[in-house]
Amino acid sequence: MTLLELRDVAAFYGPVQVLEDVSLSVPEGGAVGILGANGAGKTTTLRAISGSVKARGEILFDGKSLIGKRPDQIAALGIAHVPEGRGTLSDLTVRENLRVGAYLRRDTRKVAEDIEYCLDLFPNLRDRIRSQGSALSGGEQQMLAISRAIMAGPRLMLLDEASLGLAPSTAATVYSAIARLRKESGIAMVVVEQNATLAFTVVESATVLETGRNVLTGPTEQLKGMDEIRRAYLGG
Ligand code: ATP
């Protein structure tokens, strides 16, 4: 079953149109990548889904239209956005950040279990549980941002450039945790990445955006074999 469907989505910053015509389909429990150069519209596509930019066209989540809904309404439907730049709360501790992620939930036992799950997925965070967000390294902040999204109990997670600014070994650690999360949780994912090698460890299919349009969409195995993808995104 399709969980998220974008059809002919356009998006605007004030009068400036940034997405022209973007389509995307994410099956229940599936993971889809969005690749593309700087400025292609990857971040804006995630913002259109989570309601933080004005969009036209069709965005259906579990059959319901998201167009015109506020970000808090969309989050409450089960969509968690891990933004570029991470958005962890710097004055709060790691544990407080995790609790903030779960603020809409009443199932306290499951919340406690999910905190344990995050600390198991990211052992660095367990060591830093009483540290303030501002004291964390870039990698730890990224781990915390993903964990906070897990704590919301989402059906769909939007991940924006989770590798950005991280040392290659840290980026690899973060992505192997994302791959594990995907296998164990059944949370569907939209993965925006400049680093296609990392994205391909998680997603089954991907689309390439250029100036706000899809130029290529296909299964990961097919994309990996294409010269243009290898040259532009796989460094070879
Ligand atoms: P990047 O990896 O650089 O974030 P991207 O593919 O995610 O690239 P977007 O951030 O979606 O691209 O940006 C798409 C276009 O929208 C770019 O031309 C960018 O300059 C423009 N843009 C982004 N944010 C704004 C904004 N707040 N106001 C106006 N234009 C914006």
pLDDT at position 56 is 96
* 44 CA closest ligand 1 atom index: 11
Over residues 118-168, the pLDDT tens digits come to 999 999 999 999 999 889 999 999 999 999 999 999 999 999 999 999 999
Using an 8 Å Cβ cutoff, are 9 and 45 in contact? Answer: yes
pLDDT at position 227 is 85
The domain spans of the chain are: 2-78+155-234, 88-153
State the distance from the centre of ligand 1 to the C-alpha of 39, rounded, in angstroms. Answer: 5
CB burial class (10 A; 0-12, 13-18, 19+) of residue 121?
buried
State the distance from the centre of ligand 1 to the C-alpha of 46, rounded, in angstroms. Answer: 11
How far, in whole angstroms, is CA 133 from its chain's centroid?
Answer: 20
Over residues 37-76, the pLDDT tens digits come to 899 999 999 999 999 999 999 999 999 999 999 999 999 9
End-to-end CA distance of the chain: 36
ipTM attached to this prediction: 0.93
Q: Does 38 contact ligand 1 (Cβ within 6 A)?
A: yes
Q: Which residue has the tokens 């990445």?
A: 193
pLDDT at position 64 is 96
Using an 8 Å Cβ cutoff, are 228 and 215 in contact? Answer: no
Q: What is the spatial distance between Cα 126 and Cα 116, in angstroms, rounded to a whole number?
A: 9
Query: Is residue 201 classed as helix, strand or coil in its secondary structure?
Result: coil
Q: pLDDT > 70: what percent of the chain? A: 99
220: nearest Cα among 81, 49, 8, 35: 35
Q: Does 31 contact ligand 1 (Cβ within 6 A)?
A: no
Query: Is residue 172 classed as helix, strand or coil in its secondary structure?
Result: helix
Between the alpha carbon of residue 95 and those of residues 121, 124, 145, 225, the distances in Å are: 15, 13, 12, 43
Ramachandran region, residue 210 (left: φ > 0; alpha: ψ -120 to 50; beta: rest): beta
pLDDT confidence tier of residue 236, bands split at 50, 70 and 90? low
* Phi and psi angles of residue 15, each rounded to the nearest 5 degrees, phi first: -80, -5
Strand 2-13 to strand 54-61: parallel, antiparallel, or no bridges (unpaired)?
A: antiparallel
Strand 188-192 to strand 156-160: parallel, antiparallel, or no bridges (unpaired)?
A: parallel
Over residues 99-112, the pLDDT tens digits come to 998 988 889 999 99
Q: Does 15 contact ligand 1 (Cβ within 6 A)?
A: no
Q: Does 41 contact ligand 1 (Cβ within 6 A)?
A: yes
- What mean pLDDT do residues 179-199 have? 95
Question: Could you give the angle at the alpha carbon of 173 between the alpha carbons of 170 and 177, nearest 5°?
Answer: 145
This model's pTM is above 0.80: yes
Strand 16-27 to strand 2-13: parallel, antiparallel, or no bridges (unpaired)?
A: antiparallel
Using an 8 Å Cβ cutoff, are 216 and 207 in contact? Answer: yes
State the distance from the centre of ligand 1 to the C-alpha of 41, rounded, in angstroms. Answer: 6
- What mean pLDDT do residues 12-33 have? 96
CATH H-level, domain 2-78+155-234: superfamily? P-loop containing nucleotide triphosphate hydrolases (3.40.50.300)
CB burial class (10 A; 0-12, 13-18, 19+) of residue 102?
buried
pLDDT at position 88 is 73
